[in-house]
Amino acid sequence: MKLNVAAFAVTCGILWGLGLFLGTLWIMLFEGATGDVTFIGRVYLGYNISPLGAVIGLVWGLADGLVGGAVFAFLYNTLQAVFARPAQ
């Protein structure tokens, strides 16, 4: 079975971006907008625990998920073609 690289990349981007966005909102709901730099903020420039940081995280997460999903799907398809056993 081959993966559709574009569809998988978009799906990963949406999931990672929305996950980071909603996770930031969840933290702000219970702890408040602190503006603290987190570990993710060291990787994603401009991200912090704030409303603007949630939007920045959404954009970075979308871009990162797109690239990561595309690389994963491409590698999966390549390795699947190399190691696929012929039908018997």
How would you write the pLDDT of the chain (88 residues) with one tens digit per residue?
899 999 999 999 999 999 999 999 999 999 877 777 788 989 999 998 999 999 999 999 999 999 999 999 999 999 998 888 776 5
Is 23 a member of any domain?
yes
| 54 three-state secondary structure | helix
Q: Which residue has the tokens 């730099």?
A: 37
Which domain covers residue 41, as residue numbers? Answer: 5-81
Domain count, the chain: 1
Is 86 a member of any domain?
no
Is 26 a member of any domain?
yes
Is 54 a member of any domain?
yes
Is 41 a member of any domain?
yes
* DSSP class per residue in 66-77: HHHHHHHHHHHH
* CB distance 57 to 21 below 8 Å: yes
CA 31 to chain centre: 24
Is 59 a member of any domain?
yes
Is 88 a member of any domain?
no
Is 87 a member of any domain?
no
Residue 23's CB is within 10 A of a number of other CB atoms, namely 15
Nearest to 49 by CA among 61, 37, 62, 59: 37
